[in-house]
């Protein structure tokens, strides 16, 4: 009937998100998106606009699903920034190991292809990375380390997260990825302890 959607928009968006996640923006053709969603080009355009608009909605969808999980993990251990980072990496690694979704990370995949994206989409990817940085930085703030150290550790944690996604797409095993995450957490713990020591003893 005219004016009524004959498909589940949320389900179609999830399927489109998986295509972008698996193939990347450049290789996610309209034919592939249509096949995954079961929609013709006319229905795709009618429901989501052009490819760039659909991609933007998929980025929002991805962020709403996994960003909420990251935020919960990082906020679940107030006063214990190292445990918060461990919990964050647990969420990341569990997503990577989930056979129900593509390997890697849609944001990491998109960041690697940022030069091929329209400026609006590229800015959206940068914004999502900045949001991840803010979440990690807030969790690390529960320490006596100086701001510069916390900023550097934040960049380090986000960089390791993106590296885990890239390594997973190259076939790196779950055991190896978890080893990388453990070493990253040890680095965070050692850095915070070393930076906090002078403050504890009252040294300048």
For 114-141, the pLDDT digits (tens) are 988 999 999 999 999 999 999 999 999 9
pLDDT at 105 over 60: yes
> pLDDT grade, residue 6 (50/70/90)?
low
Q: Considering only 6-15, 18-27, 70-79, 146-155, which range has the smallest mean pLDDT?
A: 6-15
* Phi, psi for 133 (deg, rounded to 5): -60, -45
Distance CA 183, CA 162 (A): 15
Strand locations in the chain (E): none
Strand, helix or coil at 127? helix
Residue 143 falls in which region: left (phi positive, over 0), alpha (psi -120 to 50) or beta: beta
Distance CA 43, CA 6 (A): 10
Distance CA 128, CA 135 (A): 11
Distance CA 71, CA 143 (A): 18
Q: What is the pTM of this model?
A: 0.87
């Amino acid at each position: 009937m005219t004016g009524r959607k004959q498909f589940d928009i949320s389900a179609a968006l999830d399927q489109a998100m998986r295509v972008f996640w698996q193939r990347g923006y450049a290789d996610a053709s309209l034919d592939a998106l249509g096949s995954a969603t079961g929609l013709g080009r006319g229905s795709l355009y009618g429901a989501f606009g052009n490819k760039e608009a659909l991609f933007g909605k998929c980025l929002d969808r991805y962020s709403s699903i996994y960003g909420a999980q990251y935020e919960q993990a990082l906020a679940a251990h107030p006063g214990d920034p190292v445990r918060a980072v461990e919990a964050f990496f647990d969420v990341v690694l569990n997503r990577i190991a989930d056979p129900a979704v593509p390997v890697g990370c849609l944001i990491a995949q998109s960041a690697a292809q940022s030069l091929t994206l329209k400026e609006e989409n590229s800015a959206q990817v940068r914004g999502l990375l900045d949001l991840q940085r803010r979440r990690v930085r807030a969790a690390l703030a529960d320490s006596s380390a100086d701001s510069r150290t916390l900023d550097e550790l934040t960049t380090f944690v986000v960089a390791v997260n993106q590296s885990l996604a890239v390594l997973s797409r190259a076939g790196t095993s779950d055991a190896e990825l978890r080893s990388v995450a453990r070493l990253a957490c040890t680095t965070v713990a050692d850095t915070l302890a070393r930076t906090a020591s002078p403050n504890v003893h009252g040294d300048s």
